[in-house]
Structures are given as C-alpha cells and as structure tokens.
Amino acid sequence: MSADTRSLRVVVTRKMPEAVEAAVAARYDALFNRTDVALTAEQMAQVLQQADVVITTVTDKWHPGIFDTTSIRTKLLANVGVGVNHIALESARRAGITVTNTPDVVTDDTADVAIALILMTMRRLGEGERHLRSGAWSGLRPTFMLGRTLRGKTLGIVGYGRIGRAVARIAHEAFGMKILWHAPRDPRIDDPATAGPASAERAATLEELLQRSDVVSLHCPATPETRHLMNAETLALMPPHAYLVNTARGDVVHEAALVTALKEQRIAGAGLDVYEFEPSVTAELKDMEQVVLLPHLGSATIETRTNMGMRALANVDAFVRGERPGDLVG
C-alpha cells in the first residue's frame, strides 16, 4: 500500500480475529475497540467525526439520528456480515457514506447451524443434554424422550438464496428430507454447484409451504416486507407437529406470537439463533424445553469470521484505491 493509506484512520468497532486486526493495522492508521463492547449512539457519532472508514458489525445500531452528526469524516461503513438492516442506509447515503457487506463467505457455516437446530429440535438433543446434566437420567427406557426422524420429512425453506439452497442440499443429501421452498423471486444461481436439489419443489405461496412442512427454516433477508413474517396468523398455518428454525434475522419472527404458539402447542418446537430484540431474548423462551436457543453462532467459526473480516478489508482497500468495492450495498 502507498504511504498515503497509512494516514487513513480506520476504526474497527468490535474485536476481530487476530489475522484480520493485523492486516488492518499493517495497512492503515487503525483504532480498535479493545473493550469489545458495543458502542453507544454517542460513541458512534464521535467515530463518524474521527474515522475515514469504519469496519462495523450487526451489533452497531446505526440509527438515522446518528448520521445527523456535524462534520462527518467517514466515507465508508464496511460491514462484517451480510445483513445491513442495522444501518439506516438512506441516512448514510445522504451523509455521503458508502456501505459494503460480506456475502458468500457465511453460507456453509450458517447452513450447518440451521441443520444443527433442525436436529436439536426434532431429536430433542438440547433437552436430553440438560436432563442428563441435571442428574435426573436413570437409564435407557424404550419410550423415553422420543423425537422424530428427519428422513422422509418435508423441510420448508423460506428464502432460497445461497444459504437456503445450502441447507436444502444438506437436508436432502445427508438426511433424505423432501425440500419445499418459497421465495418471491427466482433465485440467482451463478454456479450450478450452489443450486438446490433437483427434486426440490417450489411452493406457490408461503401459506402452502407452511401447511405442508414438517420443519420450516427461515433464510430470508430482513426487510420491511419480511418483518414479523412469522406471526400469529402464519404460525397458525403450521401443523401441530411442525418445528420452526430461524438463522436469518430476529425480527422475521414475532417472538410474542411464537411464545403463544408454543405454549398452546400449536407447533411442536423451535430452534433459534437470532432474536427480535437481540441480544435480549424473550424470557419465556428460555423456560421452554421444546425450544433450542443459540447465541447467534451462525457464522461463528475461526475460518468464516476471519474470511468475513478479510472480505470487509478487501472492500476497504478497493474503496481507498478509488475503485468500486466488490460488495457495494444498494
């Protein structure tokens, strides 16, 4: 990199894998958040005044008011993650700030977690581990803690992008599940290897998918249209033996409605990795044995989190060179 880039102030809002932080520090005048605590709105406004580039994450809530800050210096928000619903994009644009994200690199690991949640809910694995750790287990009994097999069951996938199709491939090829999917548009498939199973069936409507599925796995983006997509009305369409899995975005599910559906046994269980009010989790969900709760682990592997950080950095490098970043949002 040229000497000029060393004078560019890059603020990294959360702790990143060592390789990522080392690479950022080698290229730029880097400032890291060593507390690894999410910044307050006041601190974020200050960052916009002090940094040329901000490498940010989903835990930073870039509300519209933050961009009303005077004397904004920042020209790029490089998000480490795919979703950007935590950034007021129009407000950022009006402030002259470009936004990028990191698609593609999270696909496989997030799909793995979705499959893990399907297994944990249908086979009652989380419940079983808690039972054993409590000291209550008295040995094998033929009718003890019976779950359901995945084989031959119908997996309904809402949102058929990269992650949704990866889940479909694993579920079908490894577990013999039938695949039913729904999305408002045909998926964009650049590589045949990323296509879903040839036998996958498209549901004409979300309602059809919910009524026919034994498990529903959510993989749609967070948009005004998908907010509370799963609500009292849509949850009521699922069979009482069905399970809901969410590794997409928390506000796709109306958590209060989900709690009611679970309490009233309208559905059999749920597996969640994301939450409507994250990092807060609805207290009643924590008390339900038929619910599996993970702390947003979808992309949480050393390899993927490093790749995400490096991809964000590649967007920064391109922007600094005056080129169009590869992962420009909007």
Report domain extents, the chain: 3-105+302-320, 107-293
Q: Which residues are catalytic?
A: 249, 278, 296
CA–CA distances in Å: residue 71 to residues 41, 67, 74, 251, 261:
16, 10, 9, 33, 49
* Contact assessment for residue 248 and residue 273, using Cβ atoms and an 8 Å cutoff: no
Burial of 30 per CB tally in 10 Å (0-12, 13-18, 19+):
buried
| pLDDT tens, per residue, the chain with 330 residues | 344 788 999 999 999 999 999 999 999 999 999 999 999 999 999 999 999 999 999 999 999 999 998 899 999 999 999 989 999 999 999 999 999 999 989 999 999 999 999 999 999 999 999 999 999 999 999 999 999 999 999 999 999 999 999 999 999 999 999 999 999 888 878 788 889 999 999 999 999 999 999 999 999 998 999 999 999 999 999 999 999 999 999 999 999 999 999 999 999 999 999 999 999 999 999 999 999 999 999 999 999 999 999 999 999 999 999 999 999 997
In degrees rounded to 5, what are phi and psi of residue 250?
A: -60, -40
pLDDT in tens, 85-115: 999 999 999 999 999 999 989 999 999 999 9
Predicted model pTM: 0.91
**Tokens 């060179």 label which residue?**
321
Q: Phi then psi for 114, rounded to 5 degrees?
A: -60, -45
What fold is seen in the domain 107-293?
Rossmann fold (3.40.50)
Partners of residue 100 on adjacent β-strands: 78, 328
In terms of DSSP bridges, do strands 9-12 and 53-56 run parallel, antiparallel, or are they unpaired?
parallel
In the chain, the amino acid numbered 223 is T
CATH number given to 3-105+302-320? 3.40.50.720
Amino acid at 299: S
**pLDDT, tens only, 110-162:** 999 999 999 999 999 999 999 999 999 999 999 999 999 999 999 999 999 99
State which amino acid sits at residue 183.
A
Fold agreement between 3-105+302-320 and 107-293: yes
